[in-house]
Structure 1
Amino acid sequence: MNKTLFMHIVDRLSNEFHFFRQKKNALGRASLSPLQKCTEVIRVMAYGSAADTVDEYLRLGETTTRSCLENFVEGIIYFFGYEYLRRPAPVDLQRLLDIGEQRGFPGMIGSIDCMHWEWKNYPTAWKWQYSRGSGKPTIVLETVASYDLWIWHAFFGPPGTLNDINVLDRSPVFDDIINGQAPQVTYSVNGREYHLAYYLTDDIYPKWATFIQSIPIPQGPKAVLFAQRQEAVRKDVERAFGVLQARFAIVKNPSLFLG
């Protein structure tokens, strides 16, 4: 994270979020500064280390670090969520459709996939709720991402022995379609008109009209070309996961923080 962005976040949180304001205790001593609290949060997120790794250096205990992270996340969602954690507006949707058509997939508005985040310091009583047979609990993140790494749908953390399919069963990704509030989309393929946008997926997902999968064993040049294009464009969501893990080691390595 560049310094300008970081200081903007610190300034916004310290001015408008009560937890990050510097206070004084009963002896008149100043408490932790907003800069100390936000620095500790960024350290935990960027390096994925335990909450008490540098407690003597920054003078933050483990419990305080947890509180800082929880309040930091709440503050970011409250102040910046309307801009960066929203569903596509009509202008955004049209841009996604235009880019999808240029890449050979008219009506495509993103790629959907799941990522499993290993949970190391899990509560023992919860272990088998989050295990998939390997003995290592994982927390699942379902994401829809577009070509520009914009993650505009995220469904995270449901309990159970989950894979991509039963996460999809609980996910709100199709709530707009079910409620009849899906955006109006019109495009033509092979002379036939369609009115439902779709996502690119891998083979584990069901064969629904809203999912376009690759061809496992393509026969003929047309099928081979389609499989190559579909698999190349579907990498958008995997690239988004890669960038997310590269920037924030907290979601790359086994989680030491939650427990």
Structure 2
Amino acid sequence: MKYIVNGRQYHLAYYLTDGIYPNWATFIQSIRNPQDPKASLFAANQEAVRKDVERAFGVLQARFAIVKTPDLMLSKVKIGNIMRACIILHNMIVEDEHDGYTQYDMASFARDESNRTSQVDSAYSTDIPSNLGNMMGNVMTIRNKVHDKKMHDRLKADLVEHIWGKFGTNQN
């Protein structure tokens, strides 16, 4: 996965977490005691989005047993397909329960692509290495990248700047 934040390209996906996770490149925690407006804005946005994701996942876990207790032997691709299917089914159920009636203007959810400040290349490789030696070498390389605290700090700083650049002028 490739994406750009604050003008810098990254290659590992990241997850919004709470403070119990280590400072790895793939975990982005909130800022415990923000001392300036940028840090405060980032903390508020990170916590709000993380809570939204937790609520959404909780709804899926309550509705679909496969999400609550997935089979750990399934491949990453199969788990992704199962999650997509559960999300689609959930959305179909919700739409059916509302009988097509919405109380909000759908146009307010439309995205203006010209205002996007970040890009994501979701084309990623699912190729399996042909031998164990290559696979172990790849695993160790990825492990080192994931555990890189400097990368974590740089990504977090870039995300703080990105959030400030996008929403900071609306403060007061």
Q: Give the TM-score normalised by the residue count of structure 1.
A: 0.23
Instruction: Return the index of the structure with the highest Cα Rg.
Output: 1
Q: Which has the higher helix share?
A: 2
Where relative contact order (Cα < 8 A, 6+ residues apart) is larger, the structure is: 2
**Structure whose residues are more often strand by fraction:** 1
